[in-house]
Structure 1
Amino acid sequence: MKKKITKASILLLAASLLFLSVARGEEVLRKLKVVTEQANIRLKPSIGSIIIKQAPEGTILESTRQEGEWYLIQLTPGELERVTGYVHESMVIIIEGPPKEQEEFEIIEETEIVEEQAIIKEQEEAEKPAEEEIIEETPPQPVITPPTQPVVTPPPPSKQPKFLFNLVFSGGGNYISGGDLNDGAQGFADYRSYILAVQAQGQAKPVHLSYILGGELTLALSSHFSLGIGVDYFLGERESLVKFPDDPSSETLTTHPEIQAIPLRLAISYYPVPNFYAKIGIEYYLAKCAYYYRSERVGSWEEWRGEATAQDFGILAGLGFEFELTSSFDFIVEATARYARISGFTGRDRSKDSTGTNHIEEGTLYFYRVQTAGEDSYPLLFIREDTPTEADVFDPREAVINFSGLSLKACFRIKF
C-alpha cells in the first residue's frame, strides 16, 4: 500500500513539473531579427493574408511559437502599439532561442529513480532486518544533447523597383555649335564688305542658343538600371544687321541663320546610388537648317533664302539628380552632352531682287571658299544643283552642320 501511494505521489509530482515546464516554456520567447529591407507582418500565417504591420531591417521581434514556416510575433514594448501577427521565417533570423526543455524532464526522471531505490531498500530492510546489504546506487546516465543545428541566414531578396514605368516631361536651354552654318553667314558678310570695298560696321552673329522641349517613357529594368525611349525638339535662330557706310548710298545686310532638330533617342540609365543617375544613348536626328541674307540700298534690294533637311545618327551622355515631391511625382535636373555632325542636306534656294528676278534652285547644301584677286578667301554656304566649279571657287564640299552641344533641362516625372 505504501508503495502504491509513493508511486502515485511520484506521478503527481512529475505531472506538476511537466505542467510547470510547459508554462515556463510559453513565457520564454524567441528573439528574432529582421534581415530583409522590410518584413511584412500578416494577420494569419498565409502569404495571402493582409499585412497589418511592416518592420524595417534590423527590428528585433519576439516570437511565442512557430507554426510551420511562420512565427507568431509581437512587437517589443518599446513600440507605441503592440501588434500580434505572423512573419515568414525567410525574413528573420533567430538571435536568441528558448531554453532546452529536456533538462526539466531529466530532473523528473532522476527524481523518480531515487524514489524507487529508496522504496526497494526500505522493503528489503523490513523483510531481512538482520541482514545488512549495501545497495549500490546506479549512477545517473549522462545526458547526450543533440548538436544544435546552425542557423542559416537566408539571402535577402533582390530589391525590385517600386514603379515599373515612368513618364518624363522636360524643358530647358540648349547650346549648339552650328558649324558651317555660322561660318557661311559671317563669310557672306565679309565677302560683301570686300565687293563694296567698305569696312563693315558690326558682324554676322552666330546662332548657338536654343530652347529645348522633350519627353521620355522609361522602363525600370532593376533597382539600378532603366531603359528609356524619348524625343526632343529644339530650335535656334539669330538675326544680325551689318552696315556698310558709303556716300552717297550705304548698304545694310541682314543675316539670319536657323537650326532645328527632332532627335529620337534610345538611352539606358544607371543609378549607382538612389536619386542620381548617369545616362548614355543613341539618337536619330531629323535635322533642318536655313539661311537668309538680304542686302538693301536706297531704291534696291536683293535677298537669298535657303532651307535644307537631312537625317543622321548621334550619341548623348548625361547626368541627372532627382528630388521626390510626392510618392508619384519627382523633380529632376538633367545635364546632357550631345555629339552629332550631320551632312548630306538637300533643299531649295530662292533668290530674288527688286527688279523682279526670281530664281529657284534645288540641290545639295554646299560649303566652299571664294578666292579674291588678292590672297584672301571667304567661306560661303548655299544650296546648289551641282558642285560649285566657278573659276574663283575652291575646296567645295557638302556642308556639315554641327548639332553637338550641351543642354540643361528641368524635368517632371510621373511614376506608375
Structure 2
Amino acid sequence: MKRTSGRQALALGFCLLTFLALPVSPAQSRNRLRVTAEIANIRQKPDIGSVILIQVPRETTMAAVSREGDWYLVSLVAEDGRTISGYVHISLVSETAPGPAAETPVKVKPADPPRSSIPSPPPVSVYLPETKFALAFMGGGNYVLAGDLNAAVKGQADYLSDQLGVKGTPAVSPVHLGYVFGGEFFVPLAGRLSLGFGLEYLKSQKQSIVLYQKGANSNIYTALPEVHALPVRIFISYSPVQALYMFLGLEYYFASCSYSYRTETGLSWREVSGTATGHGLGAMAGLGLEWNIVPSLAFVIEAVGRYAPLSGFRGEGSLTDSLGAETLETGKLYYYELQFLGGTSFPALMVRSKLPTEAGVFSPREAEIDFTGFSVKAGLKVRF
C-alpha cells in the first residue's frame, strides 16, 4: 500500500516538473491596424455622429479588438499612460501583420470637448452691408402706357380714315418710350434695411405723320402726344446678398401731358392742341445691382416697375385753322366717344370748360393719363 502511494506521488511530481519546464509562449496576438488617413477620429460609438474621443495621425498603429460592420473597436495607449478604447471607421485604416497585445504609447491629438452628440453645422457666411449713407445718380430708358392719350391719337386717325374712305399710311404710333434721370438718397436702418428717398424726371413723346392718299387728293394727319412727370418717392430697400438689393415704395407724381392733332389738305389746315397738368399717388418696386469701383463708389443698375394711373388733369386747349380762327378753352381734360352717322364712334381727348354733353357725345369722363410702366437705369452710387 505504501509502495503504491509512493509511485503515484512520484508520477505526479514528474508531470509537474514537465509542465514547469515547458517554454512560456507569447501572449495571444491581435490584428493590428495602421492609420492611412491624415487624421483618424476615434469615436465613442460606431456611428459617424458619435462623440470623438481622440484623433490620431497617419501611420499610427493600434490593436483591433473586434469589428462591427464598417467599424473597428480598437485599443491604444496614450503618452500619458491612459488606455483608450473606441471605434474607428474602416476607410481610415488598413490591416497590418498581427503583433503583440502590449501597446507602445502613441502620441494622440485630443479632440475638442464634445458639446453634443450631433456634429455642429459648418459656419455660414452672412452678408451684412456697410451701414453708410449713400447717394445715387442714374439715368436710362422709360416706358409708359399713357392710357387715354394714346387712345385719342388713334381715334383721330381712325376718324379721318372713315371720313376720307381710305386707310392712312403708315399707321399712327402711340407714345410709350422715353427717358428718365434722377437721384436717390439711402439712409441705413437696422441690418440689411435702408430707407430711401428719390426724385426723378421722365418724358415720353412720339410724333406720327400719316398720309391719306385717294387719287389726286391727299390729306396729312400729324399727331404729337407727350407726357412728363416728376415723381417724388419714399421706399424701403433690402439687401439679401452682396451686390443685390430690392426696394418697394410710394411715389407722388407731379405730371403734365400735351396733345396736338393737325390735319392738312393742300394749303388748308386745322389743329386741335392742349396742355394739362395733374398730380397723384403711385407705387413702385424694383431690383438693383451694384459693383464696387472703389470702397466708396459703385456702379449701379436698377430695373423699376411703376403703377400710376392719374386723373384730374386741368389745363388749356385751343382750336386754330389756316383762316386765322382761334378758340381757347380752359378746364379739365376729358375723354369721351364721338358718334357719327352710321353709328361709328371714335375716342377723343380734349380740355373742356365743362363735361361735354352735346349731341354725338357718349360716355364722357375725366381723362386718365397712365404713367404705369417700367424703367431701366444705370449710374453711380457714392457712400459716405
**Which residue does the alignment assign to 2:40?**
none
Q: Does 1:408 align with 2:376?
A: yes
Q: Which residue of 1 aligns with 2:309?
A: 341
Q: Secondary structure at the match of 1:193?
A: helix
Q: Counterparts in 2 of 1:295-306, with a 5 A limit?
A: 295-306=263-274
Aligned letter for 1:323?
W
* Superposed counterparts of 1:384-403, under 5 Å: 384-403=352-371
Q: 2:289 aligned to 311, 315, 321, which one?
A: 321
Matched residues in 2 for 1:364 and 1:192: separation? 25
Give the equivalent residue in structure 2 for 1:173: 141
Q: Distance in 2 between matches of 1:201 and 1:327?
A: 55
Query: 2:184 maps to which residue?
Result: 216
TM-superposed CA distance for 1:375, in Å, is 3.0
* Alpha-carbon offset, residue 413 of structure 1: 0.3
Unaligned 5+ segments in structure 2 are 1-114, 116-125
Equivalent positions of 1:38-49 (< 5 A) are: none
8 Å contact from structure 1 (residues 219, 227) kept in 2: yes
Deviation at 1:197, TM superposition (A): 3.0
Give distance in 2, aligned partners of 1:208 and 1:299. Answer: 32
Bigger proportion of residues as strand: 2
Q: 1:382 aligns with which of 350, 353, 377?
A: 350
**2:178·2:203 contact (CA, 8 Å) conserved in 1?**
yes
1:208 and 1:218 map into 2 onto residues whose CA distance is 30
Amino acid at match of 2:239: Y
Q: Are residue 331 (structure 1) and residue 299 (structure 2) matched?
A: yes
Of residues 167, 191, 205, the one that matches 1:237 is 205
CA distance in 1, matches of 2:264, 2:216: 14
SS in 2 for 1:250: strand
Mapping of residues 144-163 of structure 1, within 5 Å: 162-163=130-131
2:162 corresponds to which residue? 194
2:129–2:239 contact (8 Å) kept in structure 1: no
Aligned residue for 1:164, secondary structure, equals coil
Counterpart residue identity of residue 154, structure 2: Q
1:338 and 1:344 map into 2 onto residues whose CA distance is 19
Counterpart residue type for residue 375 of structure 2: S
How well do the aligned residues superpose, as a CA RMSD in angstroms? 1.9
Q: 2 CA distance for matches of 1:208 and 1:261?
A: 13
TM-score normalised to structure 1 length: 0.60
**Runs of 4+ displaced beyond 4 Å:** 158-161
Aligned twin of 1:287: 255
Deviation digits for residues 283-324 of structure 1, max 9, x if unmatched?
Answer: 000011110111111121111111000000000000111111
Q: Residue 384 of structure 1 aligns to which amino acid in structure 2? A: R
**Secondary structure of 1:201's partner?**
coil
CA-CA distance at 1:198 after TM superposition: 3.0
| Matched residue, 2:218 | 250
Larger deviation, residues 372-381 vs 359-368: 372-381
* Residue in 2 that maps onto 1:89: none
Shift of 1:195: 2.5
Q: CA deviation at 1:160?
A: 7.7
Partner of 2:332: 364
What amino acid does structure 2 have at the position aligned with 1:224?
Answer: R
Name the count of aligned residue pairs: 261
Q: Which residue of 2 aligns with 1:263?
A: 231
Q: Is the 8 A contact 1:159 1:223 kept in 2?
A: no
Mapped to 2, the partners of 1:178 and 1:397 lie a distance apart of 16
The superposition leaves residues 246-305 of structure 1 with CA deviations (integer Å, 9 ceiling, x where unpaired) of: 344311010010011000000110111222111000000001111011111112111111
3-state SS of 1:192 partner: helix
Deviation for aligned residue 1:345: 0.5
Q: Is the 8 A contact 2:270 2:321 kept in 1?
A: yes
The answer on whether the counterparts of 2:129 and 2:242 sit within 8 Å (CA) in structure 1 is: no
- Does the Cα contact within 8 Å between 1:166 and 1:414 map onto a contact in 2? yes
Higher helix residue share: 1
Output the amino acid matched with 1:258.
E
Instruction: Write the distance in 1 (CA, Å) between the matches of 2:352 and 2:142.
Output: 30
Contact 1:180-1:399 within 8 A present in 2 as well: yes
Distance verdict in 2 for CA 1:252–1:160, change over 3 Å: closer
- Alpha carbons 1:160, 1:222 under 8 Å: kept: no
2:14 aligns with none
**Contact 1:163/1:415 (<8 A) preserved:** no
Q: Measured at CA, do residues 402 and 159 of structure 1 come closer, stay the same or move farther in structure 2, by a change above 3 Å?
A: closer
Residue 172 of structure 2: which of 196, 204, 219 is its match?
204
Shift, 1:223, TM fit: 3.2
The CA distance in 1 between the partners of 2:169 and 2:130, in whole Å, is: 62
Q: For residues 250 and 227 of structure 1, do their structure 2 counterparts lie closer, same or farther at Cα, with a shift above 3 Å needed?
A: same
> What is the Cα deviation at residue 342 of structure 1?
0.1
**TM-score (norm. length: structure 2):** 0.65
